[in-house]
Amino acid sequence: MKSVKDLGDLQGKRVVIRCDFNVPLDGDTITDDGRIKAALPTLTELRDAGARTVVLAHLGRPKGAPDPKYSLAPVAKRLGELLGTQVALASDVVGDSAKQTVAALGDGDICLLENVRFEPGEASKVDSEREELAAKYAEFGDVYVSDGFGVVHRKQASVYEIAKLLPSAGGTLVKKEAEIFTKVLENPERPFVVVLGGAKVADKLAVIENLLKTADTLVIGGGMAYTFLKAQGHEVGESLLDQDNVETCKGYLEEAKASGKKIVLPVDVRVADGMDFGARTVNGDVEVVAADAIPADKMGLDIGPESEKLFADTIRQAKTVVWNGPMGVFEIEALAGGTAAVATALTEVDGLSVVGGGDSAAAVRTLGHDDSEFGHISTGGGASLEFLEGKVLPGIDILEGN
């Protein structure tokens, strides 16, 4: 994959760059600007080179039409603050405002076009529609840089098709993410431990299947753990359960045992009558019970203190560890203990620690950890998962083919 330096002298050239600015918002307030900060090294490199930088990005899931609540205005403001310069925001994506905004750029200037998902062609299932939009993007640039790792698993106009039309390179972020996940999969320093959490076991089945070939130990918590506990024959009460995949999980447990790998499951859990996620409250008292003794009328909502110690000890002895998915409902203080224990253990690893994006990245920041405490915090939850599944990511594949 080419780097920005491989694109030659960029003084006065127009560079179209795809970034991932899909940040969480509370009204117009950005609650976690990690993805914007992750783009700064490449954007600064382009500005220092005297490039005229045109940023493409998305926010949320608008339905292929303009929607004010998904405007990139808060992003343009925050990006300008971080860069210490004015970042002009076009009011459309490829219309008159975009054309005028790009035309007004001087050397070292940067502008942001409106949310690319306001255009129906961006994520169209029809190749020709994506190609038509990509051609309009390409008119804004002399070269293209891909630096939005969170979208490289999508075959979308601003990620895939545009890279066919302009000389292309991977930005600092995309190159770093690809290198780290390739190392993790192909040449990890051992012991190699993978920690998986989150709500749905179905979301991680392909990851488990692929990593059983390469990881030494899989640690499984979060809502997905209860399907594994059910596969062991335990009562899981009202906990999240993927009944359709109980037999699949049973097969993974048997496969791990036969191949000398370990699957570490909770030995105790925190349970309650239920919860109200919106109100951030728990119904009834939180109790700790053994993982094989969950009452039929209770819901498992976090791993327990003995599991915290077991998981943390397992993580700390690793030389390579990848974590994707919280251990419980960490947004509720009474149910954050498991996720906090895993996050802290990752900071104590004598080796490479990788936080796999999405909820895990949000959790470590919510819990007060600095990004520098970890080897790498990925900006792409879905992309990192598909990388770990061993899939070909279109946005990476097209860059490596150029």
CATH number of the domain within which 334 lies: 3.40.50.1260
331 is in an annotated binding site: yes
**What pLDDT is recorded for position 280?**
93
160 and 204 co-located in one domain: no
198 and 138 co-located in one domain: no
190 is in an annotated binding site: no
**What pLDDT is recorded for position 382?**
87
247 and 350 co-located in one domain: yes
Of 119, 153, 173, the residue at which a domain comes to its end is 173
102 and 188 co-located in one domain: no
Q: Is residue 369 domain-resident?
A: yes
- Is 382 marked active-site? yes
**What pLDDT is recorded for position 34?**
87
- Is 351 marked active-site? no
152 and 189 co-located in one domain: no
Of 173, 197, 214, the residue at which a domain comes to its end is 173
What is the total count of domains within the chain? Answer: 2
- Is 250 marked active-site? no
150 is in an annotated binding site: no
322 and 249 co-located in one domain: yes
Q: Is the link from the previous residue into 120 a cis peptide, with omega within 30 of 0?
A: no
Q: Is residue 380 domain-resident?
A: yes
**What pLDDT is recorded for position 381?**
82
Given the residues 136, 183, 200, 309, select the one marked as catalytic: 200
Residue type, 21: F
Those residues with Cβ within 8 angstroms of residue 126's Cβ, 6 or more apart along the chain or in another chain: none
Q: Is residue 298 domain-resident?
A: yes
pLDDT along the chain (402 residues), means of 10: 97 98 92 92 98 98 95 98 97 98 98 98 97 98 97 97 98 96 94 93 91 96 96 97 96 96 98 94 96 97 98 98 94 95 97 88 87 91 90 95 78
381 is in an annotated binding site: no
- What is the DSSP-derived secondary structure letter of residue 391? P
**What pLDDT is recorded for position 401?**
83
First to last CA, the chain: 8
271 and 132 co-located in one domain: no
Given the residues 14, 35, 52, 175, select the one marked as catalytic: 35
% pLDDT > 70, the chain: 100
185 and 64 co-located in one domain: no
Asked if 328 contacts 270 with a C-beta cutoff of 8 angstroms, the reply is yes
Domain range for 219 is 180-388
How far is Cα 45 from Cα 41, in angstroms, rounded to an integer?
6
**What pLDDT is recorded for position 284?**
94
**What pLDDT is recorded for position 402?**
73
Of 146, 173, 200, the residue at which a domain comes to its end is 173
Give the pairing of strands 88-89 and 110-112: parallel
> Among residues 46, 75, 28, 345, which one has the least CA distance to residue 173?
46
58 is in an annotated binding site: yes
| Phi, psi dihedrals of residue 268, rounded to the nearest 5° | -150, 160
How far is Cα 241 from Cα 223, in angstroms, rounded to an integer?
8
Given the residues 95, 351, 382, 390, select the one marked as catalytic: 382
Q: Is residue 186 domain-resident?
A: yes
- Is 200 marked active-site? yes
How far is Cα 40 from Cα 44, in angstroms, rounded to an integer?
6
- CB atoms near residue 296 (< 10 Å): 8
Asked if 218 contacts 261 with a C-beta cutoff of 8 angstroms, the reply is yes
123 burial (CB, 10 Å; 0-12 / 13-18 / 19+) is: buried
Asked if 180 contacts 381 with a C-beta cutoff of 8 angstroms, the reply is no
**What pLDDT is recorded for position 361?**
85
Q: Is residue 294 domain-resident?
A: yes
**What pLDDT is recorded for position 317?**
97
> Among residues 284, 289, 349, which one has the least CA distance to residue 316?
349
316 is in an annotated binding site: no
**CA 93 → CA 57, 72, 110, 180, 312, distances in Å?**
10, 11, 15, 33, 47
Given the residues 221, 358, 380, 395, select the one marked as catalytic: 358
61 is in an annotated binding site: yes
96 is in an annotated binding site: no
287 and 313 co-located in one domain: yes
